[in-house]
Amino acid sequence: MKTFTRMIGRYVLATAAVVLLVVGLLLGAVVYLGLHYGEAADSRVRIGTLAEALIPTADGLQLDPARTPADWLQGYAWAMVLDDDGSVIWQHDLP
């Protein structure tokens, strides 16, 4: 009878350990994704908004003067716009 009790105890402990491991991994993944993607979405201007802020002028494209270029491009290292042929028609700090 003692071996049966010991065997059941081992299975219960193993099952509890697996459940705790899975819960810990899922919780860690949620925290990581929340920290990684939550801040990035808030600090950057959306690409669509940035594209709408580019105004065609006689000299090419220009950012809307309602905000400074630093405000428009906050969170981005560089930016460029290509025409249909793949030529750069507007750029900011290309590498």
pLDDT in tens, 35-44: 877 665 455 6
Q: What is the pTM of this model?
A: 0.47
| pLDDT < 50 stretches in the chain | 41
User: What's 82's DSSP letter?
Assistant: E
What was the pLDDT predicted at 87? 87
What was the pLDDT predicted at 43? 58
Cα angle vertex 56, ends 78, 91, to 5°? 15
What was the pLDDT predicted at 26? 98
What was the pLDDT predicted at 68? 80
What was the pLDDT predicted at 29? 96
Cα separation, 78 vs 45, in Å, equals 13
Largest CA distance in the chain: 92
What was the pLDDT predicted at 39? 60
Token pair for 71 = 């405000």
